[in-house]
Chain A
Amino acid sequence: MPRLTPHAFELDHVTKTYRSGWLGRRVLRALDDVSLRVSTGRTFGLVGPNRAGKTTLVKVLLSITHPTSGRVVRLGRPWADRSTLARIGYVHERQAFPGYLTPVQLLELYGRLSGVGRLDVRRRSQELLERVELADRAASPIATFSKGMVQRLALAQALVNEPELLVLDEPTEGLDLSARRLVYEILAERRSKGRSVLLVTHQLSDIERLCDDVAVLRAGRVVFTGSPSMLVDRETSRAAKCQVATAPVAQLVATAGSAGDAASGWPDLELTAPPHAAADGQSAFESAMQHLYEEAPA
């Protein structure tokens, strides 16, 4: 039985630096004082431009990489307690499995390493291979699989231990429409079961559609956390303020006319859409996100 904790994971002032160059003199700060708290049962999106630190955050969370400083808590237990990893499933952004294994052997290997019993692994493997539509290739070597099939297998692998927290790093990258639909269905199932999901993706439409909460990373720092609708509201408001601030005073007065708030001296402005919104086919969320990406780092 899952031991439910209020938070799926927490990051408290986490920093990760990499050293490179001669004698490690060059320091790259991949994560810079990141604090996040993700509630159990929520689907949490993590977005940001390339090299923002998204994958590093995932790797720190899953003990693949060591944090330089800060505190990480997974499923209510400290980072050093690896037993919590038995309750987490993970899909890597560029998954490579040993080509000599068959899906059945792979799921047995990865399931057993997650602490799942032999009989449970066998039962789960059959179910999952059916679920990801690979049952007919259960005995074929993975080396013969297409990229999409490997991604689907990666998903099955992540679910073999029936995880409380599912971490997906670019799960729909390079997938065709039907495979994407499968990912969406699985995410919907997780949500209905009250399980937590961390979704890392560049697909802003996925975030908007699937996530309860979102964090935006830029240059290793969290620049926004909240719901997708909060992000749209915030960016709309900011853009309007920016428009007001940069407009000539005479123009503002003229725009406001006599309807302004005479007492405060500020004109009444109807804030409908930011100037960067409504580009070709973009939703308000995508537009707001793009604006956040393009802002100069703090």
Chain B
Amino acid sequence: MLGKLIKHEFKSTAHSMFAIYLSALITFGIMCLVFFIKNKTLMVISSVALGAICAVALVITLFAIIGTFNKSLYGNQGYLSFTLPVSGRSLLASKTIVSLCWVLISFIFAISVVLFLVFYWIAQTSDNIKSIIDTVYNMLQTMQGMPDADTALKSIIVVTVFIFIKAIFLIFKVSFAITVANTKSFQKMNTILAAILVYFAVYIVLTAGNVIAAFIPVQLAIATSGIGLSIGDTLMGLSPGEKIFVSIPILGHLFEAAICILLYSVTGTIMSKHVNIK
């Protein structure tokens, strides 16, 4: 059933997203066209347009996630969603997975647009893009403690996992806030206002948790030829004397991962046992 829920959730959310990505594609086409025509004014206008679409895509993604969640569960569509032969947790899981996909798509889209705009304007001002890329690469190579290719790849994977956790954390906080705002305790208050209040209450509590976690000196140490763990002054999993390129505090991420599990469980229970569809 989860697969079917995900399929229909994608269909449902794609309607909100389709227009924005279509407009980006059209702008991209116009930019490629004016590049060869060499019309500077049009190039500037289309670059600004693509940048704006990119920003709008990020904002729309967030609003679409919030809007779809609220409308499909606690609006009239809730009469359909909550009478399907599935559990509240399955509904929540499908919405989280699809929302996560859209968040990641919008981030990948934003990064791609920034990179594209950089290369687009480099290509306009210089004849030799390759020499510029080589110069940047050589600069990075000469930086002290720069990780080797294998370590760099592992680091990217670790950072990607952290980004995933952050995105899921955000989605669960939003889902929890909207769900709590639809319980009996808040029935006399405007749902949107209640959701905002609950979100900020949760945000403050969890930020306090994150701040406490930041004081505990457990970090992921990315060195020239490997990744290890640094606890205070002790290094684990790395050769002695190895040069540390960068250290990333990890307790905050682990705390957020644990809270994600808690929020999923609590939100699922509230959905199944405490929410009344108006």
Asked if A and B are interacting partners, one says: no
A interface residue numbers (CB < 8 A to B): none
